[in-house]
Amino acid sequence: MESNITRMNQKLAGLFSFTRIIAELQSVERVIRVRGGGRWENDVEHSYSLAMLAWYILETERLPLDRDRVFRYALAHDLVEVYAGDTYIYSEDMALLESKPAREKEAALRLRREFPEMPELHAAIEGYVRKEDAESRFVYALDKIEPVLKIYLDGGRTWQEKGVTLAMLYDSKREKVALSPEIQPYFDELISLLRKEENKFFGG
Give the Cα separation of 35 and 152 in Å (integer): 9
CB 74 within 8 A of CB 13: no
| pTM for this entry | 0.94
What letter would DSSP give residue 89?
Answer: T
Domains, in order of start, for the chain: 2-202 (1.10.3210.10)
What amino acid occupies position 101? Answer: P
Q: 165 Cβ partners below 8 Å, 6+ apart? A: 159, 202
pLDDT in 10s for each residue of the chain, 204 residues: 556 656 668 889 999 999 999 999 999 999 999 999 999 999 999 999 999 999 999 999 999 999 999 999 999 999 999 999 999 999 999 999 999 999 999 999 999 999 999 999 999 999 999 999 999 999 999 999 999 999 999 999 999 999 999 999 999 999 999 999 999 999 999 999 999 999 999 975
